[in-house]
Chains A and B, each alone.
Chain A
Amino acid sequence: MAAPDFAEFKLVPKGHSFEDFEEGQVFEHHWGRTLNAGDNSLFTTATLTHCPLYYNAEYARAHSHPDVVINPLLIACTAVGLSVEDLSEGGGPFLGISGLKFHQPMYPGDTLRARSTVVSKRESQSRGNFGIVTWRTEGRNQRGELVISYERTNLVARRRETKK
């Protein structure tokens, strides 16, 4: 049987363009992520984060934690990861993160949800095909308690048909 002509298949698009963002707009990001002990060990060992709070449960319990502590950088990476389709998958370099705060620890089995608000958007003076967008992202656990917050700024691609 001949292969189908994939050129006839319509792309299911992902991501947003600069034009899609408005100041004050809120995104409740998809999926959520339960962070388990395996995620924490893999992330912590692969990044060489050598603090036993993240991989020695007895040590963590001796510091009044109920279990190993989820590596805070794993929380940061997951909050950003959950937000990528809505905010930055459309393309454009990461410019920076500022004002990141870890508000309370997470433990294996806790679930992270992320939401973001558009703080500002402006034209890029140097790169006409992009604009600059800043979002404030908050990550909460399954009880709705704030665990992480930060502002992220990216160059965001304009829609292809409007590119110079």
Chain B
Amino acid sequence: MSEPISKLTGRGNYFEDFVVGAKMRHARGTTIGEIENQMLTKLVLNTADGHYNEHRMQSTNFKTRLVFGLVTGSVCIGLATQDTGENALAELELDGIRFTSPVFHGDTLYAYSEVLEKRDADRDDAGIVRFKHWGAKQDGTVVFEGERTVLIKRRSHWGNK
């Protein structure tokens, strides 16, 4: 690549920049609709039609399609990624993934993160950061929570590459 790769990503989210206990409210939200729920649920071969059969779901207590939990989780982690994984080398682990309230088409999701832990990796050009993420709807209802462990570049090695 002729252009330095460090020009392609942010300057403020290398391993050195994360402080344990720091809490982030991520800037963007997104409204969940046909693309996020119906398209992605079908893309990954999830056969549960409660995520894409509006007619059948109208006769349930929910009255409408439910958003697939992992679509909610993927969107919430996605909304957090620029700030917590733009300079990642690899996603390592997820744990404690919970979907605490149903999400419906038309709901808007926002993401929040806290830095739980930082530690050295088995390579000296990166370190490991563990985050707690939350996803909330437009009314503040928490719909998703989980921990995520990421291998993130150190500026000392990658900042000028």
Mark A residues whose CB is within 8 Å of B.
14, 31, 33, 39, 42-44, 46-53, 56, 58-59, 61-63, 72-74, 76-78, 80-82, 84-85, 88-89, 91, 93-102, 105, 150
Who on chain B is nearest to A152 by CB?
B97
A-B contact pairs, 8 of them (CB 8 A): A42-B40, A48-B81, A62-B161, A77-B40, A77-B44, A81-B44, A95-B98, A98-B95
Contact A61 B97 (CB under 8 A): no
> Main secondary structure on chain A at its contact with chain B?
mixed
Which chain A positions have C-beta within 8 A of B123? none
What is the size category of the interface that chain B forms with chain A? 35 or more
Q: Could you tell me the distance in whole angstroms from the C-beta of B131 to the nearest C-beta in chain A? A: 14
Which chain A positions have C-beta within 8 A of B94? 76, 97, 100, 150
Contact B77 A49 (CB under 8 A): yes
Who on chain A is nearest to B45 by CB?
A81
Which chain B positions have C-beta within 8 A of A61? 1
Which chain A positions have C-beta within 8 A of B82? 50-51
Contact B97 A102 (CB under 8 A): no
> Main secondary structure on chain B at its contact with chain A?
mixed
Cα-based distance from A42 to B38 in the complex (angstroms) = 13
Contact B40 A43 (CB under 8 A): yes
Task: Work out how many contacts link A and B, with CB atoms closer than 8 A.
Answer: 128
Contact B79 A48 (CB under 8 A): yes
Contact B43 A43 (CB under 8 A): yes
Which chain B positions have C-beta within 8 A of A33? 44-45
Cα-based distance from A95 to B97 in the complex (angstroms) = 8
Which chain A positions have C-beta within 8 A of B86? 50-52
Contact of B92 among A56, A96, A102 (CB under 8 A): A102
Mark B residues whose CB is within 8 Å of A.
1, 5, 8-9, 28, 30, 35-36, 39-41, 43-48, 50, 68-71, 73-75, 77-79, 81-82, 85-99, 146, 161
Contact B46 A46 (CB under 8 A): no
Most A C-beta atoms less than 10 A away, residue of B30, B48, B77: B48
Cα-based distance from A88 to B47 in the complex (angstroms) = 9
Contact of A52 among B8, B46, B70 (CB under 8 A): B8
Q: Could you tell me the distance in whole angstroms from the C-beta of A146 to the nearest C-beta in chain B? A: 14
Contact A46 B40 (CB under 8 A): yes
Contact A52 B44 (CB under 8 A): no
Which chain B positions have C-beta within 8 A of A78? 44-45
Contact B43 A82 (CB under 8 A): no
Which chain A positions have C-beta within 8 A of B70? 73, 76-77, 80
**A73-B77 contact given A53-B88, A100-B93, A101-B92, CB 8 Å threshold:** yes
Which chain B positions have C-beta within 8 A of A48? 28, 30, 75, 78-79, 81
Task: Please provide the 4 A-B residue pairs with the shortest distance between their CB atoms, ordered closest to farther.
Answer: A47-B78, A81-B44, A81-B46, A97-B97
